[in-house]
Amino acid sequence: MKRSTTDWEQFALLMIDVQQDFWSEQLEKNFPDFQNNISRLLTICRNQGLEIVHLRANFKPDMSDWMPRYRLLGRIPCIEGEKGVEVLPYAVERSGEVVFTKQTFDGFHNPHLLKYLRENGKRFLLTAGLVTSVCVFLTTVSAAQLGFLSAIVEDCCADEPFIHEHVLERYQFIFYRTTSDTIHRDQLKWREALNELVS
C-alpha cells in the first residue's frame, strides 16, 4: 500500500507492554474494542510512515533484574520463558520496527530509548498500550520531562475504567489526548506546537 505524504518524521508511537500478563478477561470486558483499536492504530502508523517503537517488560527468572518491591513479593509479570511475557498477537512488531525491553514501569529507564529517539529527530511521542495508569502514564510523564511533546492514544489503552478516565482527565497539563480516529486531525495542532517551540 502506498504511504501518505503526511509528514510524521518528528513523531513516534511508543507501543507499551501489550503482553499476555497485562491483559485480562476483565479488561477485555471493559475495553472490548481495544484489540481492534490497536490493530487500526498500527495500520495507520505503518501506512502513514509514523515510526513505531515497541516497549516490552521482560524479567529474568532469577530475580536479578526485578525491582526491589517485586523481589520482596516474590512475583512479577512478564518473566522470560513464561507465557505471560508473550506479545498479544495483534501488537507484534514487523520487520524494521525497533523493540526495547524494560525492567521498570517507565520505559525511559532504558537509556537506549532516549538515545534512539533523539538520534532520529523525534520531538513528539504518541503513547499507547497497557496499562493506562502505570507504564503508559509514567512513560508519558518522563517524555514530557525529557523535552518531548506527547499524546496518549486513549482508545488504545486500558485499565480499570475509573482509573483510566481519571488519569486522562487529571493530567492533561502533561499530555494531549487523542484517539486512533483523530490523530490525523490532531496532527495539525501538534505540528503548530512544534513549530512554535523552535520559532
pLDDT band per the 50, 70, 90 thresholds, residue 3: very low
Location of C-alpha cell 526485578: 66
Task: Assign 20 to helix, strand or coil.
Answer: helix
- The yes-or-no verdict on residue 160 having pLDDT over 80 is yes
Measure Cα distances from 68 to 65, 74, 78, 164 in Å: 9, 10, 16, 26
- The yes-or-no verdict on residue 149 having pLDDT over 80 is yes
d(CA 109, CA 112): 9
d(CA 147, CA 122): 10
- The yes-or-no verdict on residue 2 having pLDDT over 70 is no
- Provide, rounded to the nearest whole percent, the portion of the chain with pLDDT above 90: 95
d(CA 21, CA 87): 9
- The yes-or-no verdict on residue 6 having pLDDT over 70 is no
- 165-185 average pLDDT score: 97
- 143-151 average pLDDT score: 98
- 20-48 average pLDDT score: 97
Task: Note whether 27 and 34 are within 8 A (CB).
Answer: yes
Task: Note whether 109 and 102 are within 8 A (CB).
Answer: yes
- Enumerate the domain spans of the chain: 11-198
pLDDT (0 to 100) of residue 1: 41
pLDDT band per the 50, 70, 90 thresholds, residue 5: very low
Task: Note whether 169 and 133 are within 8 A (CB).
Answer: no
Count H helices and E strands in the chain, helices first: 7, 6
For the entire predicted model, the pTM comes to 0.95
Q: What is the mean pLDDT of the chain?
A: 96
Domain 11-198, CATH homologous superfamily name and number: Isochorismatase-like (3.40.50.850)
d(CA 153, CA 188): 16
- Provide, rounded to the nearest whole percent, the portion of the chain with pLDDT above 70: 97
- 88-99 average pLDDT score: 97
pLDDT (0 to 100) of residue 139: 98
pLDDT band per the 50, 70, 90 thresholds, residue 190: very high
pLDDT (0 to 100) of residue 198: 87
